[in-house]
């Protein structure tokens, strides 16, 4: 089968383990998870510890004020998911926003905020953990109090949004010590957030129905968002739900359900199944097929999907799939696909010694979310409502009370009956992630790549997908450096508007993570994207 060019920007070998493995976008995060596994904890325990540390060391990407999704495969083969996302305000009707003169929801400030779902997802996961949050969050509490050395990524994020952070007293205190962005290596302490974590570890319900919810609702209402508080209580429980799935390469691909974008990966997989085996990896036919499959998913999302409809299921109808395959073969454009690749998200993947796997992804939406904090708590709020819901009359994703906006987050795994878990992973990056996840899955399944190579290879992106603020932008195919020049030339001749882009270390093109089970040798292989400071560790 064809092989592509060497991985970029850094070629590494996968990490091998005979017990548990973890992989994440930060050495601090991976170390926290590895320590839990080494001490006999489960993959769920390790995930909860890693999530809290990520809130400290990747503060622009994730936090208690954001959302989170997880997919879990148990040693007996059961696959289940948790979806932590929230509603907008009960008073947030289309008429209200029209009265404010808006034709799209703001991307920052109080009107961009949805009730955070991450704490609800954490609470559900903790119900199946073997250890308490006070123990699992202890490393994060220490980092919050003693300080975290600002990474180049954090320095860049704070510098880019310094004006907005400076306007919020809580964000200013945490991220702009002395009134200026921190130097790389400078310690950032988050005393208010440490106190919040400690209180919520003892009483998680307070986030939605106690002191924290009261403080958050009071601040949002004072800032102009029409919250009642009842919508916060309605998000308090994130139930366990079955995964959605489809066949791919003789295996079963499992994904997180609505309002997650997991169905978009399933649609792409159904369109690509059997089409890429033996193709030249990153050759023009393979890139064309994957790009058009992604464009079809964004087309269908914008045309008919909302979090409270089952329209996504029709995208897997065999007749609909064959019509799209025919268009891809004829090199017709199946878009347009209005999408903006933006958003700062981070994730973890973990497998424990018993074979339990967890793929977990969490986000504030855009970098530092709505750039609005809850006073005295250290919690930055997301901007998921602003980036995810439409102000389009009658659309199934139109903003409505008690309707969750469509999401970009998703997490996946593959298994095979009689064999067991094969692969698990995820890839942050706004609407880019459903495309990049499919590319990583194809590298693993169609080309037999190890997980490190699969997450390192150059990626390509159909631009724009479906973010509310950029619907209708001109379509491009953005290709990272390292994709062969002959591929780019051929794609251009086939009608793609090819735009070369550099590999962005620390940018929105990463950070993909993957693990693969080697059942022949009885070991696990793990990879972390070199586009970030990712590290995979084995115990």
Kindly report which listed range (93-107, 275-289, 315-329, 460-474) carries the lowest average pLDDT score: 460-474
DSSP-derived secondary structure letter, 392 = -
Q: How many CB atoms lie within 10 A of CB 13?
A: 10
Exposed, middle or buried, 180 (CB in 10 Å: 0-12/13-18/19+)? exposed
Contact (Cβ atoms closer than 8 angstroms) between residue 343 and residue 60:
no
Q: What is the mean pLDDT of residues 99-122?
A: 97
Q: Identify the helix (H) or strand (E) that includes residue 114.
A: none
Q: d(Cα 414, Cα 445) in Å, to the nearest integer?
A: 10
pLDDT at position 11: 56
Percent of the chain with pLDDT strictly greater than 90: 86
Q: At residue 3, does pLDDT exceed 60?
A: no
Exposed, middle or buried, 185 (CB in 10 Å: 0-12/13-18/19+)? exposed
Q: What is the mean pLDDT of residues 79-98?
A: 97
Q: What is the mean pLDDT of residues 273-294?
A: 96
pLDDT at position 335: 56
Q: At residue 337, does pLDDT exceed 50?
A: no
Percent of the chain with pLDDT strictly greater than 70: 93
Runs of H (alpha helix) within 180-283: 191-202, 206-209, 211-222, 230-233, 262-272
pLDDT at position 1: 43
Contact (Cβ atoms closer than 8 angstroms) between residue 454 and residue 437:
no
Can you give the pTM of this predicted structure?
A: 0.94
Q: At residue 467, does pLDDT exceed 70?
A: no
Residues sharing a CB contact under 8 Å with residue 178, sequence separation 6 or more, in sequence order: none
Taking only the tens place, the pLDDT of each residue in 33-60 is 999 999 999 999 999 999 999 999 999 9
Q: At residue 333, does pLDDT exceed 80?
A: no
pLDDT at position 473: 65
Q: What is the mean pLDDT of residues 78-99?
A: 97
Q: How many CB atoms lie within 10 A of CB 520?
A: 6
Q: d(Cα 37, Cα 250) in Å, to the nearest integer?
A: 31
Nearest by Cα to 270 from 310, 300, 240, 306: 300
Contact (Cβ atoms closer than 8 angstroms) between residue 14 and residue 536:
yes
Half-sphere exposure of 202 (CA within 13 A, CB side): 7
Taking only the tens place, the pLDDT of each residue in 167-198 is 999 999 999 998 999 999 999 999 999 999 99
Runs of H (alpha helix) within 237-317: 262-272, 284-304, 311-314
CA distances from 66 to 247, 322, 393, 449, 520 (A): 31, 38, 27, 33, 40
Confidence of residue 331 (pLDDT cuts 50, 70, 90): confident
Confidence of residue 338 (pLDDT cuts 50, 70, 90): very low
């Amino acid at each position: 089968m064809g092989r592509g060019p060497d991985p970029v920007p850094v070629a590494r070998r996968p990490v091998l383990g005979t017990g548990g493995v973890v992989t994440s976008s930060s050495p601090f995060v991976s170390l926290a998870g590895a320590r839990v596994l080494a001490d006999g904890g489960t993959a769920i325990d390790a995930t909860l510890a890693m999530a809290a540390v990520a809130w400290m060391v990747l503060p622009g990407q994730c936090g208690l004020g954001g959302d989170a999704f997880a997919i879990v495969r148990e040693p007996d083969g059961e696959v289940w998911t948790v979806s932590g996302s929230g509603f907008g305000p009960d008073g947030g009707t289309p008429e209200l926003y029209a009265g404010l003169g808006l034709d799209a929801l703001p991307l920052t400030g109080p009107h961009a905020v949805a009730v955070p779902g991450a704490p609800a997802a954490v609470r559900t996961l903790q119900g199946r953990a073997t250890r308490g949050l006070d123990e699992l969050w202890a490393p994060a509490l220490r980092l919050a109090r003693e300080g975290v050395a600002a990474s180049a990524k954090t320095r860049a994020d704070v510098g880019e949004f310094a004006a907005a952070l400076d306007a919020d007293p809580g964000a200013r205190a945490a991220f702009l010590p002395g009134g200026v962005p921190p130097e790389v290596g400078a310690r950032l302490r988050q005393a208010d957030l440490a106190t919040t974590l400690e209180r919520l570890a003892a009483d998680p319900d307070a986030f939605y129905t106690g002191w924290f919810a009261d403080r958050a609702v009071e601040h949002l209402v004072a800032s102009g968002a029409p919250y009642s508080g009842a919508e916060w209580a309605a998000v308090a429980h994130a139930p366990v739900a079955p995964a959605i799935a489809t066949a791919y390469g003789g295996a079963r691909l499992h994904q997180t359900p609505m309002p997650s974008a997991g169905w978009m990966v399933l649609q792409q997989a159904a369109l690509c199944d059997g089409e890429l085996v033996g193709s030249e990896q990153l050759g023009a036919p393979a890139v064309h097929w994957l790009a058009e499959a992604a464009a079809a998913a964004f087309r269908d999302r914008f045309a008919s999907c909302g979090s409270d409809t089952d329209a996504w299921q029709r995208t897997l109808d065999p007749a609909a799939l064959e019509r799209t395959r025919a268009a891809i073969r004829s090199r017709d454009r199946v878009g347009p696909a209005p999408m903006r690749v933006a958003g700062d998200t981070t994730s973890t993947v973990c497998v424990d010694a018993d074979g339990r796997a967890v793929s977990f992804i969490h986000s504030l939406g855009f970098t530092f979310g709505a750039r609005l904090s809850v006073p005295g708590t250290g919690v930055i709020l997301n901007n998921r409502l602003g980036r995810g819901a439409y102000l389009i009359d009658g659309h199934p994703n139109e903003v409505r009370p008690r309707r969750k906006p469509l999401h970009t987050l998703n997490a996946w795994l593959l298994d095979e009956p009689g064999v067991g878990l094969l692969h698990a992973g995820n890839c942050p990056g706004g609407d880019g992630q459903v495309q990049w996840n499919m590319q990583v899955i194809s590298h693993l399944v169609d080309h037999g790549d190890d997980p490190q190579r699969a997450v390192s290879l150059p990626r390509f992106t159909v631009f724009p997908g479906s973010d509310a603020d950029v619907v209708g932008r001109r379509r491009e195919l953005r290709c990272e450096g390292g994709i062969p020049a002959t591929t780019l030339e051929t794609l251009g001749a086939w009608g793609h508007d090819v735009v070369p882009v550099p590999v962005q270390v620390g940018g929105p093109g990463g950070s993909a993570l993957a693990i693969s089970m080697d059942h022949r040798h009885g070991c696990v292989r793990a990879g972390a994207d070199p586009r970030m400071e990712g590290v995979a560790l084995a115990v």
